[in-house]
Amino acid sequence: MKPLKYIIMNRGLWGVIFLLLFSLAGYGQEKDPTPTSDLTLVDKIIAKVDDYIILKSEVERAFLQAQASGDYKITRCNVIEGLILNKLMVAKAEIDSVMVEEDMIDRELDMRMQGVIAQAGGDPKKLEEVFGKSLEEIKEELREQVKEQLIVQKMQQTITENIKVTPAEVKRFFKRIPSDSLPYFSTEVQIGQIVKKPEISPEEKKRIEDLLMKIRNEALNGTDFQVLAGRYSEGPTALRGGNLGEIQRGQMVPEFEAAALKLKEGEISLPVQTEFGFHIIQMVERRGDIYNARHILIQPKYTDKDFERAAHFLDSVKTLIEKDSLAFDRAAKEFSDDKATSSNGGFIRDASGANRISVSELDPSLFFTIDTMKVGSISAPMRFKMPDGKEAMRIIYYKSKIKPHQANLDQDYQKIYQAALNAKKSKMMSDWFKDAKDDVYIEVDSEYKDCKILQ
C-alpha cells in the first residue's frame, strides 16, 4: 500500500497525469504523420498509441513543468507513462465514441486564454511578445491540447463516476497505513474572505452603452458584425469575430441568455449587462434548445472612488460581524462576489476540500497579510487582484491556526477521506488500463525499455 502522503499529494504517475491535464503551455494531441514505424523523425518520436504519437520534446517539456511545480521525485519514465495513459484514454474514447463538443472546447479555450492574458498583466500584446506569436497562433496551438485534456477528463469521470467511500472505509484505509508512513503536516490556517467588486458608476455605464449603441448602428447600417467584434470587443472571442459557437440552453449566464433567446436570426440586441461586462448580441441560428450567437463585449473601467465605495461597504459588514450582529459565514454567502468561496462560507479550501490550507500554499500577498494579523481578527478592506486578473476589494478573516502535526482522523478527516477516494479511483483506473491497453497498439522506443511502461 502506498503511503498516505503519496496519495494525498498525488505523487508519482497520477501526479504526472494531473499535471499534464492542467498545464497551459505543453504538448498537443498529434496524429502519426506516416504509417511507417520509423521513429527517427526530426523531433524524435518515442512512443505511439494507435494513431497518436509522443515526441521527445513533449516529455522534456512536461518533465520541466513537473520540476517547476516542485515535484522533484517525478522521473522521465513517470512522465512518459503519464503521456501514454493520456493518449490511451484518447484512443479508447475514439473507440468507445466518448466525444467532447466543439463549443465546450471553445469555451474552455477562451477561459484558458483569459487566464494566460491575465498572467501577462492583462495586455494581449505583451503575451504576443513573450511567445513571439499572434494570439490566434497561440490559441490554435493550445486548441488540440485543450481538446485532449477535456477528453481525458471525460473518460476519467466516466470510469470513476460511481465510486464513493464510506466513513467506515476511510477509517479502515487510515488504520492500514504504517505509522512511519503518516505525513507530518506543516502549519495550516483557516482563512475566510468576503470579496466586493466595485460597482459601475452611472457615467461609466452611459459611456459603454453609448459606445455599444454606436457599434450596433454600424452593424445595422451594413458593417459585418464579425469585423466590428474584432475591432471593438474586449473578450477573448474577439479573435474569432465574437462567435460563441453552438450553445445549449442553460449554459450562459441568465441575463445573456434571456436577451439572446428573444432575438430572431440576424437580429442584434440592445446593450445587455452581465457579470462580465456589457454586450450586444447577434443571433446567428436557433434550433430548439441549441443556438448559435455572436457578441461584442465591453468591460467597464473603474476609478479609485469606485473602489472606495466597495471598501466602505465591506467596512460596514466587518463592523456587523465584530459586533456579533452577523456571522462571518452568513455574510460571505450573502454579500461576497467571489463564487469560489462564498458557497463555502467564505473559507478557502485546500486541494482535498478541507477548510484549512498550508501556509506554504498561500499566495504571497495573503501570507504577508495574515502574518500581521491576530487569530480571530478581521482585516481592514484591501484591494487585490482576483484569479481572472480583475481587481476587487476584500476583507480577510483569520479564524484559526493549526500547529504542525502528524496526520490523524480527528484533525485531518477530509484529507484522509480524499486520499481514500483517490486510492479507490486509482485502483479502478489501474484495472481499466489493464484491459484497455490490449485494445490499442502501443509502441515505445527501445531507449526507454528500462522504464517498464504499463507493467
Other C-beta atoms closer than 10 Å to the C-beta of 114 total 17
Average pLDDT over every residue of 403-431 = 91
> Domains of the chain by range and CATH?
4-168+409-451 (1.10.4030), 187-198+303-403 (3.10.50.40), 202-298 (3.10.50.40)
pTM: 0.66
pLDDT of residue 268: 97
Starting at the earlier edge strand, list the strands of the sheet with 272-274: 243-248, 290-298, 277-287, 272-274
Is residue 304 scored above 70 in pLDDT?
Answer: yes
pLDDT of residue 331: 96
314, three cell numbers: 465591506
Residue among 97, 79, 91 nearest 18 (CA) = 79
Residue 2 near residue 8 (C-beta atoms within 8 A)? no
Q: Which comes out higher in pLDDT, residue 191 or 41?
A: 191
Task: Indicate the length of the chain as a whole number.
Answer: 455
Rounded distance between C-alpha atoms, residue 179 and residue 183, angstroms: 9
The DSSP code sequence of 400-431 is EEE--EE--HHHHHHHHHHHHHHHHHHHHHHH
DSSP three-state, residue 189: strand
Place of cell 445587455: 272
pLDDT of residue 19: 44
Angle between helices 304-322 and 328-335 (to 10 degrees): 150
Average pLDDT over every residue of 103-108 = 80
Rounded distance between C-alpha atoms, residue 308 and residue 289, angstroms: 43
Average pLDDT over every residue of 296-310 = 95
Q: What percent of the chain has pLDDT over 70?
A: 89
Q: Cα–Cα distances in Å, from 134 out to 111, 138, 205, 238, 239?
A: 17, 6, 31, 13, 10
Is residue 198 scored above 50 in pLDDT?
Answer: yes
Question: Any alpha helices (H) in 9-134, and if so which ranges?
Answer: 12-22, 56-68, 76-95, 102-119, 124-131
pLDDT of residue 455: 64
pLDDT of residue 31: 40
Average pLDDT over every residue of 131-157 = 85
Other C-beta atoms closer than 10 Å to the C-beta of 136 total 11
Residue 329 near residue 192 (C-beta atoms within 8 A)? yes
Q: How far apart are the first and last CA of the chain?
A: 17
Residue 423 near residue 2 (C-beta atoms within 8 A)? yes
pLDDT of residue 122: 67
Q: Which comes out higher in pLDDT, residue 441 or 328?
A: 328
Of 43-57, 272-286, 329-343, where does mean pLDDT reach its minimum?
43-57
Residue 345 near residue 192 (C-beta atoms within 8 A)? yes
Of 114-128, 391-405, 413-427, where does mean pLDDT reach its minimum?
114-128
Per-residue pLDDT tens for 218-253?
Answer: 999 999 999 999 999 998 888 889 998 888 888 899
Is residue 379 scored above 60 in pLDDT?
Answer: yes
Per-residue pLDDT tens for 59-69?
Answer: 888 888 888 77
Is residue 27 scored above 80 in pLDDT?
Answer: no
Per-residue pLDDT tens for 258-299?
Answer: 999 999 999 999 999 998 899 999 999 998 888 999 999 999
Q: Which comes out higher in pLDDT, residue 351 or 293?
A: 293
401, three cell numbers: 491556526
Question: If you average pLDDT over every residue of the chain, what do you get?
Answer: 85
Radius of gyration of the chain (CA): 25
Residue 4 near residue 419 (C-beta atoms within 8 A)? yes
Q: Where are the beta strands (DSSP E) in 122-170?
A: none
